[in-house]
Chain A
Amino acid sequence: MSTNMAKSNQYDNEDTVKQKTLQYAARLGDDSLILGHRLSEWTSNGPFLEEDIAMGNVALDYVGRARMFYTYAAELAGNGKTEDDFAYLRDERQFQNYLLLELPRGDFAFTIVRQLFVDVYNDYFLTELKNSNDPEIAAIATKSHKETRYHLRRTRDWTLRLGIGTDESKAKMTKALNDIWGYTHELFEPDALEIELIELGVAVDPRLFKEKWLHDVQTIIHEAELEMPDADWAVRGGRNGFHTEHLSMLLTVMQSVHRAHPGASW
């Protein structure tokens, strides 16, 4: 009997880990999808043709990343749900993306500054995530990291170009840095679920690379002849499903076709 008890406990644990991994995969999917959608809003609005195409391609990389994470989350759920259920049939409070990623696309400087923070972050984050002991999450990270390295190069170039460019571009970059800074803190604050998964070797501990991230971001910002932001406020809540008012509008646009025509395909 005691053996049976131990066995059933073991199964319970496996089940809990699975549930938590599911939630983690869905969060990473949310991060990718929401940012991918924001970037896609530049399509046909880019400053010039090549940049329009580039932004669309980066957006595609993120939407693809979201599909991989959601597909895996759906597989773990094992209840017949698909990636589409995650993307189109959940409400604002069920999304757990970081707030930084849902902010409106703003002007081009705003988009570039956000990408700078995100790309440097993802370069470290995905490098670590490749070592996750969950093989599927590790495989998605390996694939995505190649793309992020490439994104970072372009974002760095744009940061230099706009920072050193004209008085106007410099002023816009400075404003963007200060407007966005307060949203970066929660990227380095794992919650209880993530801490548990970090201990199990599934998730990444972003606290470990915060200093490196800060150093890299600072280096690029100084190269671009800009000042590090000194805003002393911080906004948090994405991982708990507390969002800015912008997410609900984004979801309304993104989900409208699927909700109006359930199951439509072309």
Chain B
Amino acid sequence: MDIIPTISNALHEKIVRRNSSEFTNIWNILDVVCDPEIPVLSIWDIGILQDIEFKDGKYQIIITPTYSGCPAVDAIKEDTAAELTKNGITNFEVKTRLSPAWTTDCMTVEGNNKLREYGIAPPVDVPNGCALHVTPTENVLCPHCRSKNTQIISEFGSTACKALFKCDDCFEPFDFFKCI
């Protein structure tokens, strides 16, 4: 099935922020930093990398956590610092900012596609789109066989950002990246 990639406001604003930023090189360097729990997604794809500012002679790398208790945040901070250092940039700080709060809308189109290929149903693969920010209990598109004949097994999967589903056509269980 073809998916028309409509873009949310949050994602649009994020893309504008990056495109109008003068620190293109920093954004590009950080494209290789990935979520340690979903290694196909970069922190840009997932929306954790919120902004890059320059203050008091330092780059301020602004990140925002997905879920309050997400244990990946500390690892992401370390990986971000390591990647910048590796590229010869030493004047930086990695800062957490909570507002605007992260939502699934921040995930890029590429991010959604990569998730699906990786075997995790992305937040856009729900019957009515994820604009309502409600995680459905059925009819999420199966990432294996594309059937809509699916249902929730558990509200929580292997990490806070995922719910567990099963497909009633191919009988495979799968993780669904929740809409919030």
Contacts and interface: CB of A to CB of B under 8 A. Distances in A.
Contacts of B67: 60-61, 64, 147
Interface string A128-146: 0000000110111011101
Interface string B143-179: 0000000000111111110001000000000000010
A62 interface: yes
Interface residues of B, number: 24
B153 A139 contact: no
Contacts of B157: 53
B180 interface: yes
Given A139-B98, A139-B101, A143-B101, A154 B155 contact: yes
Contacts of A68: 68, 98
Main secondary structure of the interface of A (DSSP, over half): helix
A153 B155 CA distance: 9
Nearest to B164: A50
A147 B156 CA distance: 12
Interface in B88-109: 98-99, 101-103
B70 interface: yes
Interface in A41-72: 50-51, 53-54, 56-65, 67-68
A56 B67 CA distance: 13
A144 B68 contact: yes
B127 interface: no
B178 to A, nearest CB: 7
Contacts of B155: 54, 150, 153-154
B160 A136 contact: no
Contact of B69 (A51, A61, A135, A140): A61
A69 to B, nearest CB: 10
Contacts of B70: 60, 64
Interface string B38-69: 00000000000000000000000000010111
Given A139-B99, A146-B133, A54 B154 contact: yes
Given A60-B67, A64-B65, A150 B135 contact: yes
B71 interface: yes
A60 B65 CA distance: 13
A62 B160 CA distance: 12
A138 B157 CA distance: 28
A150 B102 CA distance: 15
A53 B70 CA distance: 14
Contacts of A138: 99
Given A65-B68, A65-B69, A60 B160 contact: yes
Contacts of B99: 135, 138-139, 142
A261 B160 CA distance: 29
A183 B68 CA distance: 27
B70 to A, nearest CB: 7
A216 B6 CA distance: 37
A50 B154 contact: yes
Interface of B: 65, 67-71, 98-99, 101-103, 133, 135, 153-160, 164, 178, 180
The 10 A-B pairs at the shortest CB distance, nearest first, are namely A64-B69, A64-B68, A60-B69, A50-B154, A139-B99, A139-B98, A54-B156, A57-B156, A154-B155, A143-B101
15 contacts: A50-B153, A53-B154, A53-B158, A54-B155, A57-B159, A57-B160, A60-B71, A60-B160, A61-B68, A65-B68, A65-B69, A67-B69, A150-B135, A150-B178, A153-B155
Given A50-B156, A58-B156, A138-B99, 6 more contacts: A53-B157, A56-B156, A57-B156, A60-B68, A139-B98, A142-B99
